[in-house]
Structure 1
Amino acid sequence: MENNRRWWALVAVALGTFMTYLDNNVVNVALPSIQRDLGLSISGLEWITSAYVLVFAGLLLAGGRIADVIGTRNVFFGGLAVFTLASIGAGLAQNQELLIAARAVQGVGAAMLTPAALALITQLFPDARERATAIGIWGGVGALALAFGPFTGGVLSENASWGWIFLINAPIGVATAALALATFPASRRGSAKGFDLPGVATSSLALFALTYALIEGESHGWTSGTILASFGVAAAAAIAFVVIELRSANPMMDLSFLRERVFTGGLLVMGLWAFGVFGIYFYMAIYLQNVLGFSPIEAGSAFIPMALIMAVMAVLAPRIEARFGAAGTVAAGLLLMAVAIGGIASYGEGTSYLQLLPWFALYGVGGGALVPLNNVIIGAMPAGRAGIASGMLNVSREVFGLLGITILGAILTNRSNAATGTELHRYLAGYQFSLVVAAILVALGIPVALWSLRAVRQPVVEAPPAEAEPALV
């Protein structure tokens, strides 16, 4: 019975993650509808997406640290409550300012939920074999959110109101809380002590200043005083953060973790993966509707095969890794992703969905192959530091994802302004060039994976002796 309870607890953890991932993607297909209703520019649309990702990324390390201090169960429930209530606020927002503010508060909740989720999995499944399976399922559920997010956004924005893309989180949050209360182990305080407020402040300031400069650089001018000052503040805050972490008795980011080749290389690879995923979903949703003329439902449906394949690969990836090793599996996944992004970039107007579908499928296979990275990275760290380790892992993903949206957006806008022809042709020139850049950056992760993950000497999924097989309950 206890064994079954652990797996039901995993369902609750996966549902919490599903909600945050869903929210990351459900917005993309609804962006044209939000743009029309609120009269937003591309910069305004970027802020609706980036406000969530910015706060999420800026507070992820803090969320991991809090989980290590007061306990993962408490932080999970707190994050779930904040995220659910903020989702209701976003769904009821009637202007750009309120929507962006609610999205930022959603980011606070997600920053608590996500590191607590991974840390809970390590607590629930101390056995390496079971933990690999659990993380594979967890990753598969996250990939399913990539499928249902765009589709759900399309259905709701076309048949109801775009506000419902946020309000749908309310029943999911209530169901997750009920299941978690029934299955989670008793709450206990974490093993870590102290909290690094200066580290939170400087890291968040660095991320905000960098994001502001990247999003607003084109409109203000890249050499304007405002943008140059923003870049300067970002650099100064980043340096201050490193100095603070090196001197702090209770650092938010334990920089000693970076001495581990598996951990450091894994973080970078995960970041480059996220760069491709976030950028592709954001700009592909706009391309499908504004260039190819897809309806919101059609655009949302277009992502389903890609994400379903990614979900299946996420579950199968640990077994593939057990046979071919972490380095080979992850490097192959990055290669497939880069090739797929390059293939998608070769199409412009007048493209049919059937032409894009093979590249979407290839992208799904490659993206799902990277799921074992979660287990490899967390497994390289001491069990008592799972919260901060998962926080650093998720920061890598979210920061690079944020940069994927903002940097590709800056490239797209700059390239579009420099191109000639109609507005559509100028947009396509920027869109295609930005995807080529994304493909190159994803491909840069291949040598990093081959170098760093060779240190994983044994497969994550290792069959135990026959006598060690757990009894089925």
Structure 2
Amino acid sequence: MNAPTVSAPASDMSQLGSRRRLAILATCCLSLFIVGIDTSGVNVALPAIGSELGASASQLQWVIDAYTLVLASLLMLGGSLGDRLGRKRVFQVGLTVFGLGSVLCSLSVSPEILIGARMLQAVGGAMMNPVAMSIITNVFTEPRERARAIGMWGTAIGVSMALGPLVGGALVDGIGWQAIFWLNVPVCLAACILTAILVPESRAPHARRPDPAGQLLVLVFLATLTFGIIEGRGLGWSSAPVVAAFGVAAVSLVAFLVVESHRREPLLDLRFFRSVPFSSSVAGAVLAFSAMGGFLFLNTLYLQQVRGLSPLEAGLMTLPMAVANAVFSPLSGRLVGDRGARLPMVGAGAMVIVSGLMLTLAGHDTSMWYLGVAYLFLGIGMGLVNAPITNAAVSGMPPAQAGVASAIASTSRQVGISLGVAVFGAIAFAGIDGPVADGLASAAHPAWVLMAVCGVGLVGVGFVSTGTWALATAQRTRERIAADASA
């Protein structure tokens, strides 16, 4: 075993050369980029996976949600592990586990094996995302520089998720759905090597204690809630398993809040939510990524099974979304750094509203140009939303809490994707009596209305989270947490 690595103090971090800091940022963004490509690219492969492995509609939902649920459940643990054991070390372990899970996904011969391998992937992802953000916030210490670095991080999130359908479609058409997972292996290897060369080891000054009870309750809550939503249509909303799942979800949520409020070092520090910008970042992430997750799931089925496009053609149809995301993500980071979060957050909500309302008119013969414009508006919205969400989550917290705070923001994104796939899918499938190809176009209209409602929520979050009162709550929360930590 290697000798213990001495943690690099924040002052040493700030003395790193600008080129090295940019290289560290690029390495951290690379890790998130493959996760985003994998998450959204798998959506394009769902029809091929369903055909080759004989997966049902609910199993296809679980291919997505098994990953996002485990990831959401473990992100806070991943962030605290990095703070405690060393961010560089945990980051490298995460890259290794994610790569191994990707190999197992590509070798799957049944839906059940694929779902299990996706869960292993998620374990690795949970050690990558929050730890990478913690590395960034400790390397970039000047507020404006940090905001721009976070903007680049947001760009990686948005662009990777937008490019996922295009890359996934090309791989499925050219090689097969397994290639989506093989792509991760060399990238994980390269990121692991770059991390070993570039990234200094760092830890939080005070190591947080494990919280196994809180961790278990989070997992139980998210798993049972999603199970009830996904399986409700097939088993019956009043069936014993579904009712029991919702009951367990409610009990576990209440138990989690009680347990966390009595722990000195909880998995989820409820004091964070006294900061209105922080709470708004959580709500905004859930709303935005519910819209995105639901869109990616339903749209790929619509384009391939209703409109008869190939996986590559379906991916190319989302190119306007990818381009818009790539253009507006860095712009959003600069706007947050120079003018604050209100403009990009409200703009994001407006774009999601327009896109959702346009999609309510989608049918069997809707113009592809019309669909492309709807996708363009969604891409603009998702490009604008990431930087204000991430910046609000970490900017009002002491640097020592950066790992956990960023993990909560990342958790909120994954919870949003899980709920989007589950809820949008449940709404659309409830309106289909026969084959998906015949009924999905009209059955999805209520889901697109819900997408517009998510946009309305984002507009509200943008105004609420950026006022004088909200910023004052963030300052008080930061001071209180810092005072408690030094006591």
Structure 2-normalised TM-score? 0.90
Q: How far apart, in 1, do the equivalents of 2:435 and 2:300 lie?
A: 21
1:90-139 deviations in Å (ceiling 9; x for gaps): 01111111100000111111111111111111011011111111111122
Instruction: Give the 5 Å matches for 1:101-120.
Output: 101-120=116-135
2:362 and 2:441 in contact (8 A); partners too: no
Q: Work out which of the residue numbers 189, 193, 217 in structure 2 matches 1:174.
A: 189
1:160 aligns with 2:205: no
Q: How far apart, in 1, do the equivalents of 2:397 and 2:471 lie?
A: 15
Deviation at 1:425, TM superposition (A): 4.4
Q: How far apart, in 2, do the equivalents of 1:362 and 1:166 lie?
A: 29
Q: Which residue of 1 aligns with 2:294?
A: 279
Deviation at 1:323, TM superposition (A): 5.6
2:349 and 2:454 in contact (8 A); partners too: no
Deviation at 1:318, TM superposition (A): 2.8
1:256-281 deviations in Å (ceiling 9; x for gaps): 01001111112101210111111111
Q: How far apart, in 2, do the equivalents of 1:276 and 1:422 lie?
A: 25
Q: Which amino acid aligns with 1:406?
A: A
Change (3 A) 1:171 1:265: same
Deviation at 1:296, TM superposition (A): 0.6
Q: Which amino acid aligns with 1:103?
A: R
Q: Which residue of 2 aligns with 1:402?
A: 418
* CA root-mean-square deviation: 1.7
1:245 and 1:253 in contact (8 A); partners too: yes
2:302 and 2:440 in contact (8 A); partners too: no
1:26 and 1:165 in contact (8 A); partners too: yes
Instruction: Give the 5 Å matches for 1:120-269.
Output: 120-188=135-203, 191-269=206-284
2:148 and 2:334 in contact (8 A); partners too: no
Change (3 A) 1:127 1:293: same
Q: Which residue of 2 aligns with 1:49?
A: 64
Q: Work out which of the residue numbers 455, 469, 472 in structure 2 matches 1:442.
A: 455
Q: Tell me, what secondary structure is at the counterpart of 1:369?
A: helix
Q: Which amino acid aligns with 1:298?
A: E
Deviation at 1:377, TM superposition (A): 2.0
Deviation at 1:413, TM superposition (A): 1.4
Q: How far apart, in 2, do the equivalents of 1:424 and 1:30 lie?
A: 16
Q: Work out which of the residue numbers 387, 395, 398 in structure 2 matches 1:382.
A: 398
Deviation at 1:316, TM superposition (A): 0.9
1:284-342 deviations in Å (ceiling 9; x for gaps): 11111111111110111111221221122110113334565312321121111121121
Q: How far apart, in 2, do the equivalents of 1:150 and 1:424 lie?
A: 20
Q: Which residue of 2 aligns with 1:414?
A: 430
1:392-426 deviations in Å (ceiling 9; x for gaps): 11111111221111011111111224xxx886443
Q: Which residue of 2 aligns with 1:330?
A: 345
Count of aligned pairs between the two proteins: 455
Q: Tell me, what secondary structure is at the counterpart of 2:465?
A: helix
1:392 aligns with 2:405: no
1:415 and 1:433 in contact (8 A); partners too: no
Percent identity between the two aligned chains: 35
1:139 and 1:311 in contact (8 A); partners too: no
Change (3 A) 1:422 1:247: closer
Deviation at 1:31, TM superposition (A): 0.7
Q: How far apart, in 2, do the equivalents of 1:144 and 1:336 lie?
A: 17
1:154-174 deviations in Å (ceiling 9; x for gaps): 122112121111111000101
Change (3 A) 1:148 1:393: same
1:292 and 1:351 in contact (8 A); partners too: no
Q: How far apart, in 1, do the equivalents of 2:75 and 2:471 lie?
A: 29
Q: Which amino acid aligns with 2:450?
A: V
Give unpaired runs (5+ residues) of structure 1. 459-473
Q: How far apart, in 2, do the equivalents of 1:448 and 1:306 lie?
A: 23
Range 438-447 or range 400-409, more displaced: 438-447
Q: Which residue of 2 aligns with 1:95?
A: 110
1:26 aligns with 2:35: no
Range 289-298 or range 131-140, more displaced: 131-140
1:16 aligns with 2:31: yes
Q: Which residue of 2 aligns with 1:427?
A: 440
Q: Tell me, what secondary structure is at the counterpart of 1:270?
A: helix
Q: How far apart, in 1, do the equivalents of 2:383 and 2:276 lie?
A: 23
1:136 and 1:314 in contact (8 A); partners too: yes
1:51-94 deviations in Å (ceiling 9; x for gaps): 10110111111112212222222221111111011000101111
1:70 and 1:190 in contact (8 A); partners too: no
1:345 aligns with 2:345: no
Deviation at 1:197, TM superposition (A): 0.5
Deviation at 1:368, TM superposition (A): 1.1
Q: How far apart, in 2, do the equivalents of 1:148 and 1:370 lie?
A: 17
Q: Which residue of 1 aligns with 2:6?
A: none
Give unpaired runs (5+ residues) of structure 2. 1-15, 473-487
Q: Which residue of 1 aligns with 2:464?
A: 451
Q: How far apart, in 1, do the equivalents of 2:430 and 2:136 lie?
A: 43
Q: Which amino acid aligns with 2:129?
A: T
2:346 and 2:462 in contact (8 A); partners too: yes
Q: How far apart, in 2, do the equivalents of 1:223 and 1:396 lie?
A: 29
Q: Work out which of the residue numbers 347, 351, 372 in structure 1 matches 2:387.
A: 372
Deviation at 1:178, TM superposition (A): 1.3
Q: How far apart, in 2, do the equivalents of 1:451 and 1:147 lie?
A: 28
Q: How far apart, in 2, do the equivalents of 1:425 and 1:150 lie?
A: 23
